[in-house]
Structure 1
Amino acid sequence: MRLVSHPILCNYYLTYRCNASCGFCDIWERPSPYVTLESARENLRDLRKLGVKVVDFTGGEPLLHRQLDMLLTEAKAQGMITTVTTNGLLYPKYAERLKGLVDMLHFSLDSPDRDEHDQSRGVKCFDKVMESIAVARSLGERPDIIFTVFESNIHHIKRLWEEICLPNDLVLILNPVFEYNGVGETLSDHALKELTRWGKQKNVYLNDAFVQLRLDGGNHVDRPVCKAASTTLVISPENKLVLPCYHLGLKEFPIEGNLRSLYLSDEVQTLVALEGRLPACEGCAINCYMQPSFAVEMNKYWWKALPSTLKYNRIKGTWKQMLR
């Protein structure tokens, strides 16, 4: 049963540029401009009219955009929940400007071991994450640690949780690695069971529907769980609407100041209707599109996602904003 028929999330790619070169991501390899403030203002107004509640300013590295604070201010003016994930390299420099503008601030950290984390990110950023945590806490911010889980680092969850998250009262978000276009990897059933166990611990967030989807072999085109195109609008740095999702990116439509009418057009809605049913959608388990998919249709994944969703929103207080 479909509970929400309109899009709820926007993945707004401010730039594909990045000051890291993570081995499990290929976004940073793409040439890219930066989003303009003028086009973002137009798009954010239309996103609100379409019913979008959450805007994820992403990249690349979103803090490379020097007007990020202005973009966040515009999104907040439209009543949206804002989220930013950063590798921490630039956060101490811009923290004062971003104070109070990011509802869900995530620092990426994949190991409590400095050398191991820096190697996975292709740049020395562990110390900057530690500095970012201290700076954010001093400003009264409540950042989270987002931990991308591989077979090779799952054993580090306990140490990172005990040594970094609990002493700083941070939520540890477990983000199971996914595979796409030859990038990333899959997790064993043993690792997935270990993640489920960790998801029950204090200040740990794991969407258990991610685990269930992987155990089920991902999305299946004959009975798709993916609702990427109808739940999530993807806007590129070139100010184009990307469908059906960023990773598949079959078609890009120039927005030209008309996001709402473009999204509701017959041509776009024809593509939206194919979400989860295209050949490349078979076996997909991409977290950033599955999470909103789990939120809009009452099925076994909705029920699997519900406890962790309630847990996180209770800790962070974001449920109050969702009711506005």
Structure 2
Amino acid sequence: MTGWPVVIPGDLGRATPDSLCWSPIVRCNLRCPQCLDDTTVYEAGTTERHRIARVLADADVLGVDISGGEPLLLRDLPKLLDIVRSGGRSAVSVTTNGWHLARRAAELAEYADAIRISLDGPDADHHDAIRGPLSFGRAIEGIQAAVALRIPVQIQTVLMRRTADCLQEMVDLAERLGASGFTALQMLPIGTATTLPDEMLSDDDAIRLFTALNVPKRLHMRLRTRDDAGNFTVIRADGRVWRNDSTALNISGLHPLRSAADLATREGTA
């Protein structure tokens, strides 16, 4: 199976995260039942977003993924990407539902090292049943626009019972669309996903499903188990840092991000 090196944060012994997710926006045009976001979080304004971007540019972090909410609703998204990249330390990606990607892909091409598009199925019947009418078609148009601009595209799906049966079809779709990678993310019981306990698969079941896939040679594959998500760091839209606990079943900390030093962990792991 082709794949990127698997980096498990807790195994690195770093005092700062190797990678993190920044969610500068709470707003989203879709309402996905497996969403991790706390929609009650205050959303900071432009000045504060730019300050956080500068903090991340100064941090010893290898990868920053800008997510949400839906980050393509932010007019200043290219500027945020540019600021984070200016530090010269981080590869910067964007995770999106794809609804607005076709019209914004060109302005992101100069700044994004990769774009991750979330799909919940290989066709409109499956995907739209979770994310809403027309969302599959808009996502596919966005993927095609990004691929045409030669932006590395990763298709990702939240792995749960209702998507597990379609996993092979989604991998095949990713290959047909010209994506460079496919990622399956084990559902975390955080945010609205706490209402879906029956949808959760064990990590062992997820590994078995993933191992059984027929993977095209050129497609890079990644499975993020819940165990791998332990200690992962997220910067919320209000400028506060949260960190998953070691099991990724709860949030273990919450404090303001004032400088890069606030990303450090007491345990020396990220």
Measured against the shorter chain, the TM-score band is: 0.7 to 0.9
Q: Is the 8 A contact 2:147 2:178 kept in 1?
A: no
Q: Normalized per residue, which structure has more helix?
A: 1
Q: Normalized per residue, which structure has more strand?
A: 2
2:6 is aligned to: none
Matches within 5 A, 1:114-263: 114-162=124-172, 164-170=173-179, 171-180=181-190, 182-184=194-196, 185-188=199-202, 189-198=204-213, 202=217, 203-207=219-223, 210=225, 218=227, 226-228=230-232, 232=233, 234-242=234-242, 248-249=250-251, 252-255=254-257, 258-260=258-260, 262-263=262-263
Q: Is the 8 A contact 1:34 1:237 kept in 2?
A: yes
Q: Specify which of 102, 106, 112 is matched with residue 112 of structure 2.
A: 102
Q: Is the 8 A contact 1:151 1:191 kept in 2?
A: no
In structure 2, relative to structure 1, the CA distance for the partners of 1:273 and 1:93 (3 Å cut) is same
Mapped to 2, the partners of 1:28 and 1:180 lie a distance apart of 9
2:56 is aligned to: 47
Mapped to 2, the partners of 1:155 and 1:183 lie a distance apart of 21
Q: Give TM-score scaled by structure 2 length.
A: 0.78
Q: Is the 8 A contact 2:168 2:214 kept in 1?
A: no
Greater relative contact order (Cα 8 A, min sep 6): structure 1 or 2? 2
Ranges in structure 1 where 5+ consecutive residues have no aligned partner:
220-224, 276-292, 294-324
In structure 2, relative to structure 1, the CA distance for the partners of 1:28 and 1:116 (3 Å cut) is farther
Q: Is the 8 A contact 1:241 1:254 kept in 2?
A: yes
Shift of 1:251: 5.3
Q: Is the 8 A contact 1:14 1:35 kept in 2?
A: no
Mapped to 2, the partners of 1:226 and 1:42 lie a distance apart of 27
Q: Is the 8 A contact 1:106 1:146 kept in 2?
A: yes
Q: Which is further off, 118-127 or 20-29? A: 20-29
Matches within 5 A, 1:25-40: 25=35, 27=37, 29-30=39-40, 32-36=42-46, 38-40=47-49
1:61 is aligned to: 70
Q: Is the 8 A contact 2:121 2:127 kept in 1?
A: yes
Q: Which is further off, 164-173 or 51-60? A: 164-173
Q: Is the 8 A contact 1:50 1:260 kept in 2?
A: yes
Shift of 1:85: 1.0
Q: SS at 1:4's partner residue? A: coil
One-letter code aligned to 2:154: D
Identity %: 24
One-letter code aligned to 2:113: D
Q: Is the 8 A contact 1:89 1:129 kept in 2?
A: yes
Shift of 1:238: 2.0
Q: SS at 1:102's partner residue? A: coil
Q: Is the 8 A contact 2:19 2:63 kept in 1?
A: yes
Mapped to 2, the partners of 1:263 and 1:172 lie a distance apart of 28
Mapped to 1, the partners of 2:244 and 2:201 lie a distance apart of 25
Equivalenced residues, count: 250
2:92 is aligned to: 82
Which of structures 1 and 2 has the bigger CA Rg? 1
Is residue 122 of structure 2 the alignment partner of residue 112 of structure 1? yes
Query: After superposition, what is the alpha-carbon deviation per residue over 1:128-180, rounded to whole angstroms, capped at 9, x for unaligned?
Result: 01111221122222211112222222222222333x22223312222222333
Mapped to 2, the partners of 1:43 and 1:114 lie a distance apart of 37
Ranges in structure 2 where 5+ consecutive residues have no aligned partner:
1-10
Q: Is the 8 A contact 1:21 1:123 kept in 2?
A: no
Is residue 28 of structure 2 the alignment partner of residue 18 of structure 1? yes
Q: Is the 8 A contact 2:171 2:215 kept in 1?
A: no
Query: After superposition, what is the alpha-carbon deviation per residue over 1:217-261, rounded to whole angstroms, capped at 9, x for unaligned?
Result: x59xxxxx9444xxx3x3222223335679845654344xx3235
Q: SS at 1:60's partner residue? A: coil
In structure 2, relative to structure 1, the CA distance for the partners of 1:10 and 1:122 (3 Å cut) is same
Q: Give TM-score scaled by structure 1 length.
A: 0.66
